[in-house]
Amino acid sequence: MFGRFWLGVTAAAAICFGMASASSAAGLSGHKAIYTIDLKSARSSSGVVGVSGGTVYEFADACNGWIVENKSYMVFNYAEGPRVETSWAFSAWESKDAKTFRFTVRHSRNGTIVDNIEGRISRAAKGEGGVARITRPEESEIPFPEGTQFPTEHMLTLLNAAKAGQNVVRKVLFDGAGLDNPFDVNAVIGGVHPSHGIDAKGGEDFAQSPTWAIRLAFFPLPGQAAAPEYEMELIYREDGVAEHILQDFGDFVLNANLHRIEKLPNFGC
């Protein structure tokens, strides 16, 4: 599920083994989820004293691909200096055969656009290395190695590994959320737990599901850094819904709490 929350103060975090089977893909729930965001903790050196905001995330099965839309808005308050308002809009289409990935990003800070990105990947076969062709803000190419996965493919990898009882998964991820792609992502998967329950948040149409806590660490390629650039922990349901998200940027940590969810209809395929 989850592309990145782009925070406008540092690189944000992305979420997302092989080719997803038809049965695994069918198990993902199309949904619209609203999360509230607040500050969990911060070091005094960060200067951050408060964060408020939210994100609206939509995931849909589009027959031969998946569509993701993510819009976030946050306000950062600092011990010194003015507050910072940041907004981020991300959209992507990812083919189920893992050959094509299209993405756009629009990020602004205090009303000024700081990122406006559009790009596309087309490759002959799943797992093949190549380049992402960026058409905005200017034409360029971003190389990625063999074995690179796209976000929903990567999410299915994590969920399949969790169901199989695996504890560690390491993959290269290209999520399209910024020009700093791709990332070497190390995932540590906790044991299965009952769902926290989403009925009270509009999720009456969702079946009961086990959940797993999955901790993701994002390293820059070529993977020689001793410490990750950032980390993320998600409480994931089997159907791809994230019940809770924690983003750890080192100097501060953010919570994203599920506030409201609704099931989206499929495209009739």
Model confidence over 128-183: pLDDT tens digits? Answer: 999 999 999 999 999 999 999 999 999 999 999 999 999 999 999 999 999 999 99
Per-residue pLDDT, 25:
44
CA pair distance 159, 192, nearest whole angstrom: 11
DSSP string, 94-146: EETTSSEEEEEEEEEETTEEEEEEEEEEE-SSTT--EEEEEEESS-EEEEE-T
DSSP, collapsed to helix, strand or coil, labels residue 255 as strand
Tell whether the model's pLDDT for residue 127 goes beyond 70: yes
Q: How confident is the model at residue 74 (pLDDT cuts 50, 70, 90)?
A: very high
Q: Which uninterrupted H or E stretch holds 160?
A: helix 151-163
Per-residue pLDDT, 269:
66
Q: How confident is the model at residue 52 (pLDDT cuts 50, 70, 90)?
A: very high
Tell whether the model's pLDDT for residue 69 goes beyond 50: yes
**Listed range (53-62, 83-92, 205-214, 219-228) with the worst mean pLDDT:** 219-228
CA pair distance 258, 240, nearest whole angstrom: 14
Per-residue pLDDT, 223:
66
Q: How confident is the model at residue 24 (pLDDT cuts 50, 70, 90)?
A: very low
pLDDT digits (tens, 9 = 90+) for 183-242: 999 999 998 887 767 887 988 888 888 999 999 999 998 766 778 999 999 999 999 999
Per-residue pLDDT, 23:
33
C-alpha 141 chain-centroid distance: 22
Q: How confident is the model at residue 248 (pLDDT cuts 50, 70, 90)?
A: very high
Contact between residue 197 and residue 163 where contact means Cβ atoms under 8 Å apart = no
By CB neighbour count within 10 A (0-12 exposed, 13-18 middle, 19+ buried), where does 247 fall? Answer: buried
The mean pLDDT of 78-107, rounded to a whole number, is: 96
Q: How confident is the model at residue 48 (pLDDT cuts 50, 70, 90)?
A: very high
Task: Give 195 or 58, the one with higher predicted confidence.
Answer: 58
Q: Which uninterrupted H or E stretch holds 152?
A: helix 151-163
Average confidence score pLDDT of the chain: 87
Instruction: Supply φ then ψ for residue 19, to 5 degrees.
Output: -75, 135
The mean pLDDT of 26-53, rounded to a whole number, is: 93
Per-residue pLDDT, 265:
81
First to last CA, the chain: 20
Per-residue pLDDT, 22:
32
Per-residue pLDDT, 46:
93
CA pair distance 230, 240, nearest whole angstrom: 22
Q: How confident is the model at residue 268 (pLDDT cuts 50, 70, 90)?
A: low
Q: How confident is the model at residue 267 (pLDDT cuts 50, 70, 90)?
A: low
Tell whether the model's pLDDT for residue 17 goes beyond 80: no
CA pair distance 106, 69, nearest whole angstrom: 12
- For the chain, give every domain's residue range: 4-263
Per-residue pLDDT, 231:
95
